[in-house]
Structure 1
Amino acid sequence: MARMARLELVGEIHHVALRGRQTVFFDEADCVMLLHALSEEAREREASLLAWSLLPDSVHLLVRPREKGALALLMQGLGRRWVPQYNQRHHLTGSPWTGRYYSCPVDSSWELRAMRFVDALACFQGVCERPWEYRWSSCSARVMGTPGAIDVETPRSWWDLGNTPFDRQARYQDFLMKAESGRWLDELRCATRLGRPFGAKGWMDSSGVPRDRVPTGRKPGRPRRPRR
């Protein structure tokens, strides 16, 4: 059965995930190489990064494509730049990833929540106690106000957190430490894995989600036969 084409909406944020077959990032050099490749590709493509996180066995990004096909070109370019360098360094062949990348468009009204999801992933997975203590994510620069490893977009939702840099950093830090709904997190992960849009129906209608990609809420499988 043919794979469903990825859904990419120009101007909307997308959660993107790459999962490794096992541990992918063995040391600092592996992370630095990927971030350099990601930064170069983002400059060349009409796409901006809002958040990123490199975990030992996966990569998570929040990306806003600004023209049709920009997200796909970004991820293809990232693979072409980074994988050969990685394989040469570790004397490997093939791809370290389990397969193609996963992605889903996310409701723009949940922009800050999606940023928190990516920024706090290391904390969620027990890699660190506080998200901003983890070096390999966009969280530290955002909370501490220091230069980041790569440039990220500053969205409107960030400016709305406060009138001064200190206010915004402090409020985002508090926001990071608040527990997110487990159901919301599970639904975001599921939407990313299945390539479905993740958001309210009103947002799907206004953002141009094709009707055949709008979740119906019907349970998978063959409908039950009516009782006689």
Structure 2
Amino acid sequence: MNQTNRILIAATAHHIVRKTQGGMQVFRDGQDYRHCIHHIRELRETNSVAVHAWCLLPDRIHLLATAERQAADISDFMKSLSCRVTMRYKRRHMGAGSPWEPRFRSSPVQPGQWLLACMNYIERLPVLHGFVKTAFHYHHSSYRMRLGKTHIYWLDDAEDYKRLGHDAEARAEVYRDYFNAGLCASDRENIERAVNTGQVTGCAYFERELRGK
């Protein structure tokens, strides 16, 4: 699997990254972030895509999402989201052309520990990039929502996350402890390598299993 031959698979979580060209800042203030978050929430319903985690940085979008019906729904979802952000960028910031790289990046994620590690990585990105000292203080990711600190909860919880507790509060408590324990360097490197090269996030057995589908 690579970026010239990207494989998307229905009913499998994918780590998806949409980057701008040359680090261009497409999100410049709170309104830009809220606009994109609104459309992530809306488009996940119209495209039958379950969104398990997300994070917006000034020059990129990270998602952990599953196409519930057919694999092409992920592409349709990303095309619509990218288009809406681009239109706003051109109108509000006088941008010319598309700010995005030609293609979004994606990596199928193995259920279980790798899925939770990928959630951890995505919601930890604001800290890794030095925007905040703690993920709780960043308002443009799913972390605060996961902990019940937003007015509305619209995350589509993956089965592996649901197994952490009997209700939303219990799951959030277990996940917070897991998150605070940190992410080991090797897991972080594996997640980044996989999504940047279009490889599987997980073990060799999982990759063979996907190739057989």
Quick check: TM above 0.5?
A: yes
Tell me if structure 2 keeps the 8 A contact 1:145–1:169: no
Residue 148 of structure 2: aligned partner: 144
Q: Distance in 1 between matches of 2:201 and 2:11?
A: 15
CA distance in 2, matches of 1:146, 1:42: 19
For 1:154, the equivalent position in structure 2 comes to 157
CA distance in 2: counterparts of 1:210 and 1:189, whole angstroms: 24
For the aligned residue pairs, the C-alpha RMSD in angstroms reads 2.1
Counterpart residue type for residue 97 of structure 1: W
**Distance in 2 separating the partners of 1:13 and 1:145:** 25
Highest Rg: 1 or 2? 1
CA distance in 2: counterparts of 1:210 and 1:160, whole angstroms: 27
Separation of aligned partners in 2, 1:147 and 1:60? 22
CA contact (8 A) 1:46 1:65 kept: yes
**TM-score for both structures, normalised by structure 1:** 0.83
Q: Distance in 1 between matches of 2:9 and 2:111?
A: 11
Letter in 1 for 2:108: P
Contact 2:17/2:60 (8 A) holds in 1: yes
Identify unmatched segments of 5+ residues in structure 2: none
CA distance in 2, matches of 1:186, 1:99: 24
Q: 1:146 to 1:26 in 2, by over 3 A?
A: closer
Equivalent AA in structure 1 for residue 31 of structure 2: A
CA deviation profile, 1:79-135 (whole Å, cap 9, x unmatched)? 222211221111111122233211110111222111111111112222112212210
Q: What is the SS of the residue equivalent to 1:29?
A: helix
Query: 1:27-46, aligned counterparts within 5 Å?
Result: 27-46=29-48
Q: CA deviation at 1:58?
A: 1.5
- SS of residue matched to 1:176: helix
Q: Which runs of 5+ in 1 are unaligned?
A: 212-228
Q: Which residue of 2 aligns with 1:219?
A: none
Residues in 2 aligned to 1:13 and 1:97: alpha-carbon distance in whole angstroms: 23
Normalised TM-score (structure 2)? 0.89
8 Å contact from structure 2 (residues 26, 89) kept in 1? no
Partner of 1:194 in structure 2? 197
Q: Is the 8 A contact 1:15 1:103 kept in 2?
A: yes
Alignment of 1:101-112 (within 5 A): 101-109=104-112, 110-112=114-116
1:196 is aligned with what amino acid?
Q
Paired amino acid for 1:85: R
**1:129 corresponding residue in structure 2:** 133
Structure ranking higher on relative contact order (CA contacts 8 Å, 6+ apart): 2
Indicate conservation of the 8 Å contact 1:131/1:176, yes or no.
Answer: no
Identical pairs, percent: 24
